[in-house]
Structure 1
Amino acid sequence: MLSSTIPAPPRPPYRVMPLTEEQAAALCEWRYEAPFTFYQWLSWADMQAQEREFGDPAIRREQYAAVLDADDAFIGFAQFFPLAGVTRLGLGLRPDLCGRGAGLGFVQAIVREAIRRAPGNEIDLEVHAWNERAIAVYERAGFVVSDHYELATARGSEQILCMVYPDGRVQFPSQ
C-alpha cells in the first residue's frame, strides 16, 4: 500500500529568534579578518560587567535577535534599535560565512523581522563607506543610500553611509 504522507513544507532558509545568553557569549568569540576586525566585540565577561549592548539582559531581550539557518545553526545576529518612527538595524554575519553568498537571505530575514516588529517604521542602517561587500548586499536587498557623513570612532574619523529600506516595500528580489 502506498503511503499518502504529505511532506512537511520546507523550513525558511533563515529564521530570526531571541538571542540567548549562550549565543551572546559566542558572538564575543567571533574573529573577523582585517579590515573587519573592529566589528569584534569585547569579551563576554567585559560585555556583562559593563552591561554593554547584548551584555545587558534587558537590551538583549528588547533589541537583539539571533539568526539561524535551516539546520538551526547560529549564523548571525541583528539589533533592532528603536528611534522615533525608525528602526535602525545593526547586524553581523558569522565570520566564516562572510563573502560566501549568505548575505542576501540573511539581510532579507532581518528586514522581514524589522517590519514585523514595527510595521510602518522606516528601516535604516549605517555602513562604513569602504565596506563595498556589505553595501552591495544591502543594495541587492533593496536599501538605498540616503545620506553620508563623517563619524568619530576610536580609529579616527570615518565616512559612513546611511542606507534606507524604501517604505512599503515588502517583496524581496530573488537571491
Structure 2
Amino acid sequence: MISSPVTFHVVPMEPSHAENICEWNYKPPYNIYGWMPWEQMQALGIEFGDPVLRSQQYVSVVNEQGDLCGFAQLFPMEGVVRLGIGMRPDLCGHGMGHLFMEAIVQAALKRYPEREIDLEVLTWNQRAIRTYQKCGFTITDTYERRTPSGDRPFYCMVYDK
C-alpha cells in the first residue's frame, strides 16, 4: 500500500510549540541547530521567547492532525524576507522536506508577496541544500558568518518564483 504524502500547514506559533521546540535534540552534526531552554529564552526575551517577536515573525508547521512538525522564522528585511527553518528531528531525512518547505514558502509569499525570499544555509548541510534546490531555491552567494563555534561558510539561496 502506498501511503499518501503528508500535508503541512503553517499556523501562528503558540507558546506550547515554542517550548516543545526548545526540547528538540538533533544528532551530530545537526546538533548545532538546537535552542537554549525555554525558560531561559523567555527570561532573556530572545527569538520566539519574546511574545511580540514570536507573533510577528515565527510560525509553526503542523500536519493534518495538528501535530507540531517544525517552525519557520519569516524575518523581514529591506525588499527580502529571510527564512529560518527547523523541522522536528525525528522527521528529518525521510523525504518530506520539500513538502515542508513548500508550505513555508507559500506562507512567506502570502505574507510578503512583493519581497524576494531567501535563506542562509551552512555549506556542509547538503541534505538541506538539496531540499531547498528541489523547492526552487538557487545558490546566489557564499560568505563567512560568525556562529557559536567560530566563522563558518554559508550559502545564500534565493527562491525563484
TM range (shorter): over 0.9
Q: Does 1:159 align with 2:153?
A: yes
What's the TM-score, normalizing by structure 1?
0.88
- For the residues of structure 2 that align with 1:152 and 1:74, how far apart are their CA atoms? 30
Matched with 1:74 is: 68
Matched with 2:55 is: 61
What's the TM-score, normalizing by structure 2?
0.95
What per-residue deviation string (whole Å, max 9, x for no partner) do you get for residues 95-147 of structure 1?
A: 00000111000000000000000101000000000000000000000000010
Secondary structure in 2 aligned to 1:67? Answer: strand
Which consecutive unaligned segments of at least 5 residues does structure 1 have? 1-11, 170-175
Q: How many Å apart are 1:40 and its aligned residue?
A: 0.4
Query: Structure 1 counterpart of 2:124, which letter?
Result: W
Q: Which runs of 4+ in 1 moved over 3 A?
A: none
**Higher Rg:** 1
Matched with 2:20 is: 26
What per-residue deviation string (whole Å, max 9, x for no partner) do you get for residues 4-40 of structure 1?
A: xxxxxxxx81100000000000000000000011100
Which consecutive unaligned segments of at least 5 residues does structure 2 have? 1-5
Q: How many Å apart are 1:65 and its aligned residue?
A: 0.3
- For the residues of structure 2 that align with 1:115 and 1:85, how far apart are their CA atoms? 13
RMSD: 0.8
Matched with 1:128 is: 122
Query: Structure 1 counterpart of 2:19, which letter?
Result: A
Q: How many Å apart are 1:93 and its aligned residue?
A: 0.3
Question: May I ask how many residue pairs the two structures share in their alignment?
Answer: 156
Could you tell me the percent identity over the aligned residues? 47
What per-residue deviation string (whole Å, max 9, x for no partner) do you get for residues 62-119 of structure 1?
A: 0000001112111000000000110000010000000011100000000000000010
Superposed counterparts of 1:86-105, under 5 Å: 86-105=80-99
Q: Does 1:43 align with 2:58?
A: no
Secondary structure in 2 aligned to 1:124? Answer: strand
